[in-house]
Amino acid sequence: MQDKPTRADKVAQTRERILDAAEQLFAEHGLSNVSNRQISEAAGQANNSAVGYHFGSKSELIKAVVSRHVVPMDQIRARLLTELGDEPDVRDWVACTVKPMTEHLGSLTSPTWWARLVAQIMTDPSLYLAELDESTTSDSGRESEDGLRRSLPGLPDDAYEERESMVRNLVIYACADRERALAVGSPTARPTWDTTAVGLIDAITAIWQAPVTPID
């Protein structure tokens, strides 16, 4: 006989339903276009103040949604770093920035919403910076970033910052486009998230190693 769910169990289940509903609604409609009431209703909560009760504010809810993805992605990146050879090159370090996203997405039950949610977060600078800080200030995030920078000793700082922004957008929007296609059953350029990572790593390695044209 199964044990009767405790109050703590019920609270945890309710929180997960709210997080699931919020993630989908935010991904589909944008963070500013979704109310706590809509999230509560989508989560099957009769009390429209359920979001406030369990998470306090909308910003705290967003942080909670982000955290449940950032943590496993950080674990993937930490594993990838342990698998690096003695002399990793640019492509190896690029893999450490791409695969945490693609591997994580591949581990989730379809349809997924994470990549599209991050794309929405990127439209709000304050929210995007908060998300970026949380996903890159871990030990593995810093090690990955430092390793990539060391592998590009001839790249000027301004070019590095410019390309870092390009790469970040490429990874997020490429993953969001594939995620969206999978959700509606449209064809995708690559058959799996693993092969999607290969294509991204090819392109991003080329971006990092491209020549820098002087600007007069």
User: Where residue 46 falls among pLDDT bands split at 50, 70, 90?
Assistant: confident
Q: CA-based diameter of the chain, in Å?
A: 77
> What is the arithmetic mean of pLDDT over 88-100?
97
Res 9 pLDDT > 80: no
Query: What's the confidence (pLDDT) of residue 124?
Result: 75
> What is the arithmetic mean of pLDDT over 199-210?
98
First and final C-alpha spacing in the chain: 77
Q: Percentage of the chain with pLDDT > 70?
A: 92
Q: Please return the burial class of 47, using the count of CB atoms within 10 Å of its CB with bins 0-12, 13-18 and 19+.
A: exposed
User: What single-letter amino acid sits at 112?
Assistant: T
Residue 107's CB is within 10 A of a number of other CB atoms, namely: 11
What does the alpha-carbon distance between residue 116 and residue 122 come to, in Å, rounded to a whole number? 10
* Angle at CA of residue 66, ends 65 and 68, nearest 5°: 70
User: Where residue 150 falls among pLDDT bands split at 50, 70, 90?
Assistant: very high
What does the alpha-carbon distance between residue 2 and residue 22 come to, in Å, rounded to a whole number? 30
Q: Compare 131 and 72 and report the one with higher pLDDT.
A: 72
Query: Is the distance from CB of 80 to CB of 92 less than 8 angstroms?
Result: no
Class of domain 1-56: mainly alpha
The domain limits of the chain are 1-56, 66-209
Predicted model pTM? 0.88
Dihedral over Cα of 184, 186, 191, 193: its sign: negative
Instruction: Copy the structure tokens of residue 78.
Output: 């930490």
pLDDT digits (tens, 9 = 90+) for 102-149: 999 999 998 999 999 999 888 877 766 565 565 556 889 999 999 999
Query: Residues 170-207, buried b or exposed e (16+ Cβ, 10 A)?
Result: bbbebbbbbbbeeeeeeeeeeeebeebbeebbeebbee
Report the chain's C-alpha Rg in angstroms. Answer: 19
